[in-house]
Amino acid sequence: MIRYKMTLPLQKNTIQSVNKLALLGLVILFFLISVPGTAQNNLQTEEKMQWFQDAKLGIFIHWGLYAVNGIDESWSFFNGYISHNDYLKQTDGFTAKNYDPVAWADLIKKSGAHYSVITSKHHDGFALWDSKFGDFNAKKASVAKRDVLSPFVQALRKQGVKVGIYYSLPDWSYQDYTHHTRDSMRYKPADDPKRWNTFLHYYQGQLTELSKTYNPDLWWFDGDWEHTSAEWEAPKVRQMLLDQNPRAIINSRLQGHGDYATPEQGMPVTRPKDDYWELCMTMNNSWGYQKNDHDYKSLNQLIGIFTDVISAGGNLLLDIGPKGDGSIPKEQEELLTGLGRWTQKHKEAIFGTVAGIPKEHFYGPTTLSKDKSILYLFVKGNPNGEIVLRGIKNKINRIWVVGDGTKLSHKVVGKIYWSHYPGIKYIQVPDYVLDKNMTVLAVLLDGEIELYREDGSVIESN
């Protein structure tokens, strides 16, 4: 136990001084009791989140009825672009006839992803598994006539890929849920608590099913904006899931009861304040399959976004949208295959690393080994023979090209004997070592990286 030694000026025979001392004693007692518990909780969180922090890349899968006609998932009827009845007719086209969960898992593994998150149920309420809560699911309500979630989860497990389950808290098709469309609300919880409790039993029952059947490593909630934490019973739900699996990770969309932040589509310009975060992003402009959306990001653009994300200490959750028959569009498959080639070649600079250095020291993404003695530089395009490192106090012991081991040379310019300014380090990068997508260099330092963050020096001797 930590001991604290204090000297307090006491005034004898004054009740005020005694009261102050008693109050201070209570504060110290509370500090001694609470801090060890807080430290223990922080340690448990760090241990639980370690695989997530090391993973760097996940694959998101949006698959549901919306893939049949290639329309906006759930939002198409909620926003009035199509009637709810016409939306539901897509059950006749959800065949899954070309669905190959083993091939899906194999492609995800080859992409370099360490986890995958699939939409078990979107806001439309259509479930991919055979739920005992309601009949609106792939087995009972679609021509597929089967549970399509279970074989995919099994295939992921065989590949050693962590399993993430996306679950929509709202269910706009369920008669006892509050919201139906943007212009149609069935009721408010305060006005009909019995009906709301019916819905709570339904959605929490589905979560219990998913938890016990699949024991996911990660929960990805969505739609929490429609109700408060108290209305969702979010603390109860979190505890229920952790009782089943204490090491389960929960995203931020459970009204403040999650473990990590989830910015969507837009890459944060500055590093998020959260210790753990994940950018979820589409390959084109649509989450689910849309046959008219061919506006795909290039492989170089995806790699650029990915390296910016890991440079800032985050993960990328990259989305694919299979068709209603279960096949993955060729553009998406090609992008995952290309990404896999690049991540496999440069895995030492990606997986298990930590956030890199500020960009004023190197104009590009960077990561660091866990002991911070190796600095990885992600070089975009052709640097025309050299790249520049600024403000690195350490001596460089060795530089090599990640993926082929070619040793590179460097020189230091501007290092003056009387100043602790470290000079500018120029690294020679010949054209023949460049990767066709993005080149990665490893810089071995003489110890944990030290950065010069001062203004410079005035000449006092020459």
pLDDT in tens, 220-266: 999 999 999 999 999 999 999 999 999 999 999 999 999 999 999 98
* pLDDT above 70 for 108: yes
Percent of the chain at pLDDT > 70 equals 89
What mean pLDDT is predicted for residues 142-170?
98
CB-CB contact of 68 with 117 (8 Å): no
Do 441 and 305 share a domain, yes or no? no
Q: Do 333 and 379 sit in the same domain of this protein?
A: no
Nearest to 1 by CA among 29, 25, 43, 42: 29
- Residue 168, burial from CB neighbour count under 10 angstroms (0-12, 13-18, 19+): buried
Of 305, 320, 349, which marks where a domain is finished?
A: 349
| Within-domain flag for 19 | no
Confidence of residue 310 (pLDDT cuts 50, 70, 90): very high
Look at residue 375 in the predicted model and tell me its pLDDT.
Answer: 98
Instruction: Report the pLDDT averaged over residues 277-304.
Output: 97
**Residue 106 placed within a domain:** yes
Mean pLDDT, all residues of the chain: 91
Q: What are phi and psi of 347, to 5 degrees?
A: -60, -30
Same domain, 321 and 367: no
Mean pLDDT confidence for 318-341 = 98
Who has greater pLDDT, 456 or 127?
127
Residue 3 has a pLDDT of 31
Does residue 380 sit within a domain?
Answer: yes
DSSP E strands in 268-380: the ranges are: 278-282, 315-320, 354-355, 366-368, 374-379
Q: Which residue has the higher pLDDT, 419 or 341?
A: 341
d(CA 176, CA 155): 35
Q: How long, in residues, is the chain?
A: 462
- Residue of 45 and 223 predicted with greater confidence: 223
Look at the chain and report how many structural domains it folds into.
2
- Band of residue 37 on the pLDDT scale cut at 50, 70, 90: low
CATH label of the domain that carries residue 112: 3.20.20.80
pLDDT value, residue 41: 65
HSE (side-chain half, CA atoms, 13 Å) at 92 = 5
Lookup: tokens for 425: 């380090």
Based on the fold, state whether residues 52 and 73 are members of the same structural domain. yes
Distance between alpha carbon 130 and the CA centroid of its chain, in Å? 28
Q: Answer yes or no: do 321 and 374 share one domain.
A: no
| Percent of the chain surpassing pLDDT 90 | 84
How is residue 137 annotated by DSSP?
A: B
Q: What are the pLDDT digits (tens) for 74-92? A: 999 999 999 999 999 999 9
Q: Are residues 188 and 268 in the same domain?
A: yes
Q: What is the pLDDT of residue 461?
A: 45
- Considering the domain architecture, whether residues 303 and 379 belong to the same structural domain is answered as no
Residue 3 located in a structural domain = no
Model pLDDT for residues 380-408, shown as the tens digit of each residue: 999 999 999 999 999 999 999 999 999 99
pLDDT at 208 over 50: yes
Crossing angle (nearest 10°) for helices 101-111 and 150-159: 40
Of 349, 381, 405, the one marking the end of a domain is 349
Q: What is the CATH number of the domain that holds 426?
A: 2.60.40.1180
Residue 108 corresponds to which amino acid? I
Residue 404 belongs to what domain range? 359-445
For residue 43, the model assigns a pLDDT of 65
- pLDDT value at 218 more than 80: yes
Res. 270 pLDDT band, cuts 50 70 90:
confident
Sheet holding 424-429, edge to edge: 385-390, 424-429, 410-413
Residues 156, 52: contact at Cβ < 8 Å?
no
Q: Answer yes or no: is 23 within a domain.
A: no
The pLDDT score that the predictor gives to residue 19 is: 52
CA pair distance 181, 175, nearest whole angstrom = 12
Listed residue (382, 373, 388, 429) closest to 406, CA to CA: 429
Q: Is residue 461 part of a domain?
A: no
pLDDT in tens, 346-362: 999 999 999 999 999 99
Q: State whether 338 and 409 are in the same domain.
A: no
260 and 126 within one domain: yes
**Is the domain of 145 the same as that of 231?**
yes
| 1-5, 64-68, 119-123: least confident range | 1-5
- Which one of 349, 371, 389 terminates a domain? 349
In the predicted model, is pLDDT for residue 35 greater than 70?
no
- Residue 62, domain member (yes or no): yes
Is residue 63, in this structure, part of any structural domain at all?
yes
Buried b (16+ CB within 10 A) or exposed e, 348-387: bbbbbbeebbeeebbebbbbbbeebbbbbbbbeeebeeeb
For residues 93 and 174, membership in a common domain is answered with yes
Q: Both 162 and 203 in a single domain?
A: yes
pLDDT of residue 457: 53
In sequence order, which ranges of 8-125 are alpha helices (DSSP H)? 15-55, 66-69, 75-78, 84-88, 101-111
